[in-house]
Structure 1
Amino acid sequence: MGAVTAFDPVAEHERTRVALEAAIGRLVELVGAIGDLEVPSGVPVWSVGDVGAHLAAVYLAYGSAIPGERSGAGAEGIDWDAVLAGPEGTFGERIAAVNALSIGLVAGPERKRLGPILAERGAAFLRDSAGLAPDTPVPAPWYGPGRTVPLAAATGLMLSETLVHGLDMARGARRPWPLAAEEASLVIGQAMVTMMPLALDAEKAQGVRIAFDLALKGGPRLAVVVEDGAATVTRDPAPRPYDCRITAAPTAFLLVSFGRMPLWKAIARGRMRAGGRRPWLAPRLSELITAP
Structure 2
Amino acid sequence: MSVVGSSSDPVVEHERTRAALRAIVPRLARLLRDAPDLGAPSGVPVWSVGDVGAHVGAVYLAYSSAFTHEFRDWESVLPPEDSPFIERITGVNAKAIGLFGAEERSHLGDFVAERGEAFLRATEGLAPHTPVVTPWYGERMALTLATATGLVLSESLLHGLDIARGGRLPWTIGPEEARLVIGQSLPAMMPLTLDAAKARGVDIAFDLAIRGGPRLAVVVRDGTATVTRDAPPLTYDCRISAAPTAFLLVAFRRTPLWKVIARGGIRAGGRKPWLAPRLSALIASP
TM-score normalised by length of structure 1: 0.93
SS in structure 2 opposite 1:226?
strand
1:76 aligns to 2:72 (yes or no):
yes
Q: CA offset at residue 35 of structure 1?
A: 2.5
Deviation at residue 137 of structure 1 after TM alignment = 0.9
2:167 and 2:84 mapped to 1: Cα distance?
34
SS of equivalent residue, structure 2 residue 98: coil
Residue 37 (structure 1) aligned with residue 31 (structure 2): no
2:107 aligned with 1:113: yes
1:77: Cα distance to partner?
4.5
1:143 corresponds to = 137
Match of 1:93 in 2: 87
Alignment partners' CA distance in 2, 1:147 and 1:204: 24
1:229 aligns with: 223
Paired letter, 1:26:
R
2: distance between equivalents of 1:24 and 1:93? 29
Q: 1:234-245 to 2 correspondence within 5 Å?
A: 234-245=228-239
Is 1:270 the counterpart of 2:271 in the alignment?
no
1:77-226 alignment runs, 5 A limit: 77-79=73-75, 83-226=77-220
Question: 1:88-138 CA deviation, whole Å, 9 max, x = no partner?
Answer: 410011110111012111112121211101111111111111111101111
Aligned equivalents of 1:33, 1:75: Cα separation in 2: 27
| Structure 1 residues 84 and 77: alpha-carbon distance in aligned structure 2, compared to 1, 3 A threshold | closer
Q: Which position in structure 2 is the counterpart of 1:254?
A: 248
| Equivalenced residues, count | 281
In structure 2, the residue matched to 1:16 is 17
- The question of whether the paired residues in 1 share the 8 Å contact of 2:33 and 2:107 is answered with no
Give the C-alpha shift of residue 36 in structure 1. Answer: 1.9
CA distance in 2, matches of 1:201, 1:141: 21
**Quick one: distance in 1 between partners of 2:119 and 2:95?**
21
CA contact 1:65–1:76 (8 Å) conserved in 2: no
Q: Give the superposed CA RMSD.
A: 1.3
Of the structure 1 ranges 35-44 and 149-158, higher mean CA displacement relative to structure 2 is found in 35-44
Describe the SS at the equivalent of 2:216.
strand
Whole-angstrom distance in 2 between the partners of 1:64 and 1:110: 18
**1:47 paired residue number:** 48
Q: CA–CA distance in 2 between the matches of 1:192 and 1:247?
A: 16
Unaligned runs of 5+ in 1: none
Structure 1 letter corresponding to 2:70? G
How much has 1:24 moved relative to structure 2? 1.1
What CA deviation, in whole Å up to 9, does each residue of 1:146-175 have, x standing for no partner? Answer: 111110000000000000000000000001
4+ aligned runs moved over 6 Å, structure 1: none
| TM-score between the two structures when normalised by the length of structure 2 | 0.95
Distance in 1 (CA, whole Å) between partners of 2:187 and 2:149 is 13
